[in-house]
Amino acid sequence: MSTLDSWSVEDSWDSWDSWDSWDSWASAGGSRLAGLMPQARTQTTELLVFGATPGGAHRSRPPGWPGTRDDAAYRNVAQAERSQVVVTDLLHLLRIHCRPDKSVVHLSWPDDPGCEMGLPHLDVFVAQLAQVEAMAALRAERSSEIMAQLQFTPTFWANILPMNARETPYTLELMAVVVMFSSFVIQRVKAHFNLPRPPQLSPRIQPLIPMPGYSTYPSGHATQSALLAGLLKWLVFEGVDDNEPAMAFWKEKAEAMLDLLASRIAENRVVAGIHFPVDSDGGLKLASVLLEMLRYAQDREVGVEVPYGSFAWLFAQARTEWRSTERRSADWRET
């Protein structure tokens, strides 16, 4: 699954190609002018930014300069680059140990014993070949879903929860970050187990879509969809007032739909002929482990310059979006 390309929250202005015209303008004025431009631009910049006295002594720099700014550091980072920071921090926390005999993968993080994922016996996969073949009968009715779910898109989740780039930008960013982070973990686990996909065990499968060039177990789609379902239930509904009738109804129905969506996405990969049902089971287990790790990251205070770590900061921004939505909904119901 890919990152949230079509749901970009903000434009990136890191490309300064238009400033090449300044260099071209300087060159057009002759080599002498071109030689003076670097010094002139430096002097002008210092005058405009810092000011200068007649003697040439510059005024004092702003307090704390150079050094870390006192405001929220993560807020001053563009979305794409901030996502890289969050994913890097999460990967730094997670430890993945693999047994040499490829029978077990152990995932853990600080202050937690972690969890082990065992290797299903090859007989399990062989036994499920007939089930995969039979599920091909559903391809005609599900082909549009299967194709739409080749890459990650928040549209399916936004059908259940009211999300859009204007009102919930941090939620969409959080989802994309979690998908990106889990992709690295999934591929590490897949590479360790290195198990064949259905078409590699039987020519009768005839997959609907091109077979991915990596291990079948665990299913990445199953892992990420279950992880997103758990993340959204945690983000949106944990800590809300269940005694409020409208909110209790919303929570019950939405949580069930999130789980059903995750299950459907995982099953569609079996229908497509590129996964076994046991791959989905492995994805569910890996998702539960990663969700617990994310809870740890959200609770853990790190760093000196900022009050909490990058994931905790992003999670807090996303949760604020939903608490605001709850207040607006309550105000609407009271009118």
Q: Are 266 and 219 in contact (CB under 8 A)?
A: yes
Where b means 16+ CB within 10 Å and e means fewer, 150-178 reads eebbbebbbebbebebeebbbbbbbbbbb
Task: Report residue 263 CA to chain centroid gap.
Answer: 19
Mean pLDDT on 132-161:
95
Is the bond preceding residue 66 a cis peptide, omega within 30 degrees?
yes
User: What is the SS3 assignment for 266?
Assistant: helix
| Type of residue found at 82 | R
User: What integer pLDDT is reported at residue 16 of this predicted model?
Assistant: 33
pTM of the model: 0.77
Query: Cα-atom radius of gyration of the chain, to the nearest Å?
Result: 26
Quickly name the fold that domain 74-334 has: Vanadium-containing Chloroperoxidase; domain 1 (1.20.144)
Q: How far apart are CA 172 and CA 93, in angstroms?
A: 23
Is the bond preceding residue 62 a cis peptide, omega within 30 degrees?
no
Q: Are 225 and 153 in contact (CB under 8 A)?
A: no
Q: Is the pLDDT of residue 1 over 80?
A: no
User: What integer pLDDT is reported at residue 189 of this predicted model?
Assistant: 96
Q: How far apart are CA 87 and CA 7, in angstroms?
A: 18
Report the mean per-residue pLDDT for the chain.
81
Pairing relation of β-strands 95-98 and 104-109?
A: antiparallel
User: What integer pLDDT is reported at residue 301 of this predicted model?
Assistant: 56
Mean pLDDT on 63-90:
76
User: What integer pLDDT is reported at residue 12 of this predicted model?
Assistant: 32
Q: What is the pLDDT of residues 8-52, one digit of tens each?
A: 434 333 323 333 333 343 444 555 556 677 777 777 776 776 665
| Type of residue found at 14 | D
Question: How far from each other are the two terminal CA atoms of the chain, in whole angstroms?
Answer: 43
Q: Phi, psi at residue 108, to the nearest 5°?
A: -150, 170
Q: Are 297 and 111 in contact (CB under 8 A)?
A: no
Q: Is the pLDDT of residue 309 over 90?
A: no
What is the residue extent of each domain of the chain?
Answer: 18-67, 74-334
Q: What is the DSSP string of 205-218?
A: ---SSPPPSS--SS
Question: How long is the chain?
Answer: 335
| Top-ranked range on mean pLDDT: pick from 9-23, 103-117, 241-255 | 103-117
User: What integer pLDDT is reported at residue 332 of this predicted model?
Assistant: 39
Q: Are 250 and 258 in contact (CB under 8 A)?
A: no
- Which residues, including other chains, have CB under 8 Å from residue 207's CB and lie 6 or more apart? 198, 199, 272, 273, 274
Residue 102 CB: number of other CB atoms within 10 A?
A: 12
* CB-count exposure of residue 80 (10 Å: 0-12, 13-18, 19+): middle
Q: What is the pLDDT of residues 131-141, one digit of tens each?
A: 999 999 999 99
Q: Is the pLDDT of residue 59 over 80?
A: no
